Amino acid sequence: MQFSEFPVQSLMYITNRPETVFTHGKGSWIFDHTGKRYLDFIQGWAVNCLGHCNEGMIRALTEQAGKLINPSPAYYNEPMARLAGLLTKNSCFDKVFFTNSGAEANEGAIKLARKWGQKHPNAAGGARFEIITFDHSFHGRTLATMSASGKPGWDKIFAPQVPGFPKAELNDIASVEKLIGPDTVAVMLEPVQGEGGVIPATREFMLQLRELTHRHNLLLIVDEVQTGCGRTGKLFAYELSGITPDIMTLGKGIGGGVPLAALLSTAAVAVFEAGDQGGTYNGNPLMTAVGISVIEQLTAPGFLENVTQLGNYLREQLLALCDTYGFEGERGEGLLRALLLGKDIGPQIVEKARNLSPDGLLVNAARPNLLRFMPALNVTREEIDQMIAMLKTVLAQVG
């Protein structure tokens, strides 16, 4: 089929997209309407942690589709309960609420923190509601999560904002401490800022934050929508610093490509009362059945150790590029990495990489001066080598 035969003009405009319609994929490869294949180091935006069309996920999805798709969220279902059990068994949390997107999970985290702040008021008896978040953070696209985000310009585009999200600077504990007041109830951060350009919170900063929040009786919320589910080489990125947060949100990887996300908390913080929280599709068995397959594969012996090794391998290859081309360096955790280009050639590289032939390459420029890599967690070394070789071909064309 020709591109012009797809009625894409019926789609609401939200962003510029290339004239490419993707039709199928397998593992690290995705194919478009012309049959051209692309090595995919975007993977649905750090979502397809097991690559395209993973066998275990297909089996879980098709088996569940033939059994029960939607009993209504007013009742328990088997995959919902089993996945919650898997998550609490493998984390420091005791309670799980499932949602359909990361933004919705974060929205739930904000509500839960505010509810907890009503039950744990300040000295004057007032409900605490302020959540300190960070410059350049990204928490989603609902009104509250946009207000929580520190993306430049986002304070204006759908004004007025939801109040109660003062911004501190990542890896600067004094900037957090300065914002703590009588209304503060929590601090919320991404262990590695993803959309902000793959900027890790340091181990030291995470420890300082945990100590500071304990001292002021504040909740610590980690937004692990991008860093969770094996992306950093640990099942959850908070494990990298050895701290235990009070609330965590998951999205992206937990569904491996299907719309699934989750809000987790410790038992002490799970203070919702009947009617406070809900959602038509929460815990729907079709998606949670897939989540079970994903978590079982991620926690299989050796899987996460391999992610760490692959992350180290990717890091070495990116550092070698820095030597050859004089780039500034690289950063990240596990298989969430960025190459710091030192100049704003990211978007140009992204376009040229996609247009390579016969095979294209999909990478992302989270900021114009860097490239972000978020391959499948079961990518192979050979595929990393192929990606680097393709990138070199592109770099030969870029000034």
Ligand X SMILES: *Cc1c(COP(=O)(O)O)cnc(C)c1O
Would you tell me which residues interact with ligand X (CB under 6 A)?
A: 101-103, 106, 138-140, 190, 194-195, 223, 225-226, 251-252, 261
Q: Which is nearer to ligand X, 82 or 151 (CB)?
A: 151
3-class DSSP state of 185 = strand
Q: Which is nearer to ligand X, 130 or 190 (CB)?
A: 190
Structure tokens at 353: 């990489």
Supply the minimum distance, in Å, between the C-beta of residue 232 and ligand X. 12
Structure tokens at 230: 């094996």
Whether the Cβ atoms of residue 196 and residue 141 lie closer than 8 Å to each other: no
- Binding positions for N(2)-acetyl-L-ornithine are 141
Q: Alpha-carbon distance 11 to 193, whole Å?
A: 30
Supply the minimum distance, in Å, between the C-beta of residue 396 and ligand X. 32
**Closest to 62 measured CA to CA, from 296, 293, 281, 299:** 293
Q: Which is nearer to ligand X, 130 or 223 (CB)?
A: 223
- Binding positions are 102-103, 138, 141, 223-226, 280
Supply the minimum distance, in Å, between the C-beta of residue 224 and ligand X. 7
Closest residue to ligand X: CB criterion: 102
Structure tokens at 184: 């503060």
283: exposed, middle or buried (Cβ count in 10 Å: 0-12, 13-18, 19+): buried
Q: Alpha-carbon distance 393 to 353, whole Å?
A: 9
55: exposed, middle or buried (Cβ count in 10 Å: 0-12, 13-18, 19+): exposed
Supply the minimum distance, in Å, between the C-beta of residue 270 and ligand X. 21
- Binding positions for pyridoxal 5'-phosphate are 102-103, 138, 223-226, 280
Supply the minimum distance, in Å, between the C-beta of residue 169 and ligand X. 17
Q: Which is nearer to ligand X, 281 or 325 (CB)?
A: 281
Q: Which is nearer to ligand X, 264 or 321 (CB)?
A: 264
Sheet holding 336-340, edge to edge: 329-333, 336-340, 370-373
